[in-house]
Amino acid sequence: MAPHDRPVIGFLTDFGLDGAAAICKGVMLSIAPDAQIVDISHSVGKYAIRDGAYLLWTALPWLPVGVHVAVVDPGVGTARRPIAVRTGRGDALVGPDNGLLMPAASRLGGIVEARLIENSAWTLRRSSATFHGRDIFAPVAGHLAAGGAFDDVGPAIDPTELVGLELPPAKVVNDQLGSEVVYVDSFGNLRLAGGAADLRAALVALEHADELLLELGRGGEARRATARWARTFGDVRQGELLLYEDSSGNLALAESGGNAAVRLGATTGTWVGIRRA
Amino acid sequence: MAPHDRPVIGFLTDFGLDGAAAICKGVMLSIAPDAQIVDISHSVGKYAIRDGAYLLWTALPWLPVGVHVAVVDPGVGTARRPIAVRTGRGDALVGPDNGLLMPAASRLGGIVEARLIENSAWTLRRSSATFHGRDIFAPVAGHLAAGGAFDDVGPAIDPTELVGLELPPAKVVNDQLGSEVVYVDSFGNLRLAGGAADLRAALVALEHADELLLELGRGGEARRATARWARTFGDVRQGELLLYEDSSGNLALAESGGNAAVRLGATTGTWVGIRRA
Amino acid sequence: MAPHDRPVIGFLTDFGLDGAAAICKGVMLSIAPDAQIVDISHSVGKYAIRDGAYLLWTALPWLPVGVHVAVVDPGVGTARRPIAVRTGRGDALVGPDNGLLMPAASRLGGIVEARLIENSAWTLRRSSATFHGRDIFAPVAGHLAAGGAFDDVGPAIDPTELVGLELPPAKVVNDQLGSEVVYVDSFGNLRLAGGAADLRAALVALEHADELLLELGRGGEARRATARWARTFGDVRQGELLLYEDSSGNLALAESGGNAAVRLGATTGTWVGIRRA
């Protein structure tokens, strides 16, 4: 990292709102006083690595190139490795080697270099076994933001040996597109895999306002609903379901003016099948 | 806007805490790296334009003159217009033309100039239909904060043709003052319309510690309670209700050490009648 | 306070997420435009002075030396005094004289000077009776962060006459260590008093993986559970309880991958007795 006037540090955790994230920020600012820290979220579901990975994947492309640190870390203090990776875009991503950083890294140009965090001059002297956010990840992010060389993180490791995590893909079978619910956002919108092109491949000659048949869940427990293919919420009536291409270019299912997750009883991992009504 | 060393951007949305606000901040900081972004709230009730308008009205007078961007936008992607307005105080307010900005603008010296956002050099090239916070409002706020001319937002429009929104007024009838609950704050205090002067006009010779009779709701469903007219929470006993002039100069109803909204079953829009006990 | 390039202001309240904290930040930034404000928490339980005191005690040691302002203030507008204290480490802490600042001050080197806030040039002209965060504490913090002299806060007062607050201690009786739950963190981990040394004094020859017997609550209502003494969450199986030394050096009780507070029905103040199984 070249030093910037105001280096940006993106910051995501499952720490909640009661002080742990602020402690990490205090550590970062002690090392990099001019950092511009952007809280991506600290309300990631506890231990929900995939939710955290999804949120980084949606958010980081829109943050300036910088140092980004993420901590959703059920394995804190065990053998799982603390890592930093350099992306094709020029970011440094810092966090646990549990897959959390992988989808975002891939979207930022891929991993061009990975290092094991081992520089004891960059981490806190007496590290706890339960708060590596404070003791390891925050100070490393601070040093990188302050202009420290990526080489100084620790020894290079093989990027292909990092713990992988892939967001679930869409599946097209015959005239149907299926996807797990990848993420439920704060509006209750169900974020799915695949984009408009995938849907058009499954459902030929698709036009806005076309009616679709949804099947939620699998087998005997599946529930049915109908939705319209639409550009945006206001294109259907209040209370109607719509399927749309979301702001990340993926399919998503919403209730106009309402909460689709509550209405459909869907959560992360629920299977959604989509075909013509 | 003249460029400042650290231009302030106030930011309010109903996006919740899972990353959408951070995406907008990333866009703003990419354009205006020195901006000092102040999160007013991202926990506004979903689609609750009036709640958002109330919070902007309470908060913006206390923020430095700056660029302030607000997004509570059920009509995103439809024909509702994206706008920026200049206030008498010198702020630029950016958001949807759905009334959200109006009470605050009025309190900041009124609208001296309004413009339709149309400058495609200031908005993101490929705008989504569902996330104008990221694609339109954030980048326009960033450009204004970075010193861009207000004229460059887009064509001037007639301020009187903007969608209006007025916070509900207090009503004085005979010896009673009535108001809708305008907002329920995080303590459960019921923020009402009208100030101490209005109450004194209705209830002559009002003194602190006087007992008041409250009627909540209308007609056959109305519930009764008593409260004291007081300066502050500690002026009455724990668990007693008090009516006071809040920090915005409006009437408010609280339970000392408790939650008046829960106790009284009141929400935004509940009618509250106040007279002498 | 010597002026810094980017003076840090730590900020903790029970104001919630709907705008009151932002109003205070607006006031601070109007006075100290270059301040780097770190939100410690605004989700402290309403009126929960001890929770706020605990969070300041855990967080402030990790923030840079700065001005830190805290408002959990059920006595706002009454006779309780607004104060600022200077710590041995060099911080200025600003808030109500209700004990909130005391544990943190003690941990930052103790109080070397205390002053009553009385400088009317530093507080807002028309102070409300219900929002001293905005009218008194935020502007005083802003002036201190902008380089104002601590002497200018107001008259010196005797630190020994400040309202005290001590976090509960651990008690060792025979072969048992007991503690109230001092704080329940956002993971549901029960933060206790005392450290590993205290536990080892009560339970001689304690080794990691040893099984412990817990008694929650007192007398006839006490519930029993077993836990292992461990370094970190991943050292026991998912769903097992563990007792560990937390990142502040205190004992804490967690469920690996779960929420101990929910599982054990424990809240702040619940008594926990710990002995060998």
Place of tokens 């601590």: C150
Question: Is this structure's pTM higher than 0.90?
Answer: yes
Chain C residues whose beta carbon lies within 8 Å of the beta carbon of residue B8: 26, 29, 33
Edge-first strand listing for the sheet containing B111-116: B36-41, B8-13, B67-71, B92-96, B82-87, B111-116, B156-157
- CA dihedral sign of residues C144, C150, C151, C154: positive
DSSP state of A44: S
Query: Is the model's pLDDT at C236 over the cut of 80?
Result: yes
Residue of B nearest to C139 (CA): B62
> Which residue in chain A has the smallest CA separation from B18?
A41
How many CA within 13 A on the CB side of residue C182?
A: 26
Provide the pairing of β-strand A176-180 with A156-157: unpaired
Instruction: Give A91-138 pLDDT, tens digit per residue.
Output: 999 999 999 999 999 999 999 999 999 999 999 988 899 999 999 999
The Cα C8–Cα A90 span in angstroms is: 29
- Model ipTM value: 0.97
Residue C137 touches chain B, beta carbons under 8 Å: no
A137 close to A95: Cβ distance less than 8 angstroms: yes
Contact A131/C247 with Cβ under 8 angstroms? yes
Query: What is the Cα C260 distance to its own chain's centre?
Result: 21
What is the average per-residue pLDDT within A185-203? 96
User: Which of B39, B44, B246 is the closest to C130 by Cβ?
Assistant: B246
Tell whether C114 lies on the interface with A, counting CB pairs under 8 A.
Answer: no
Instruction: Tell me if chain C has a CB within 8 Å of the CB of A234.
Output: no
CA trace torsion A109, A112, A118, A119 (10° rounding): -90
B59-103 residue pLDDT tens: 999 999 999 999 999 999 999 999 999 999 999 999 999 999 999
What is the spatial distance between Cα B13 and Cα B131, in angstroms, rounded to a whole number?
A: 12
Q: According to the model, what pLDDT value does residue C125 have?
A: 86
Highest mean predicted confidence (pLDDT) among A2-6, A200-204, B21-25: B21-25
The answer to whether B257 contacts chain C (CB < 8 Å) is yes
pLDDT on residue C2? 43
What average pLDDT does range C35-44 have in this prediction? 98
- B81: amino acid identity, one letter: R
Question: Distance between CA atoms of C29 and C5, rounded to whole angstroms?
Answer: 14
φ, ψ of residue B39 in degrees (nearest 5):
-75, 115
